[in-house]
Amino acid sequence: PSDAYQFFTTGQQKIQQGLLREGFELISEAHNLLNNVYGPMHPEISMCLRLLARLNYIMGDYQEALYTQHKAVMMSERVLGIDHPQTATEYIHMALYSFANGHSINASKLLCRARYIILACCGENHPQISLID
């Protein structure tokens, strides 16, 4: 796993330098290594998927961003639970990518799901409630 973390942190550095494609490749390599070490279900693999989806979105590949974020949502539900705050955040990201793909009704449903999760686990005074509303 230490090689995977090295790839991940180096990928983050490349992204911060504006080298998105190089960062994407390094994060993809970290994802593959973590998948080989931990198997298909692990919180750190979900973290890689979330970042890969975000990079796809930034680079204009909205369809791939949505596909990758969907995998991150499913993994977050299974690994962290359907009522975990991070799962709600994953739903918010998926709503953004759904909207970018022209699926506004689905995006609204995803935001409602995220809002429900946040209300259930954090209460109505959580800052993300105002973000969603």
Which pTM does this prediction carry? Answer: 0.91
Specify whether the backbone of 60 is left (phi greater than 0), alpha (psi in -120 to 50) or beta: left
Report whether pLDDT(127) > 90.
Answer: no
Q: What residues make up the domain containing 23?
A: 2-132
Cβ neighbors of 12 (< 8 A, separation 6 or more) are 23, 27, 51
| pLDDT-wise least confident of 18-27, 63-72, 115-124 | 115-124
Closest CA to 100 of 133, 76, 127, 68: 68
CATH assignment at residue 6: 1.25.40.10
Spatial distance between the Cα atoms of 105 and 57, rounded to a whole number of angstroms: 19
What total of structural domains would you count in the chain? Answer: 1
Closest CA to 69 of 87, 93, 85, 45: 93
Q: What is the pLDDT of residue 78?
A: 96
Q: What is the pLDDT of residue 131?
A: 82
Average the pLDDT over 31-51 and give the result: 94
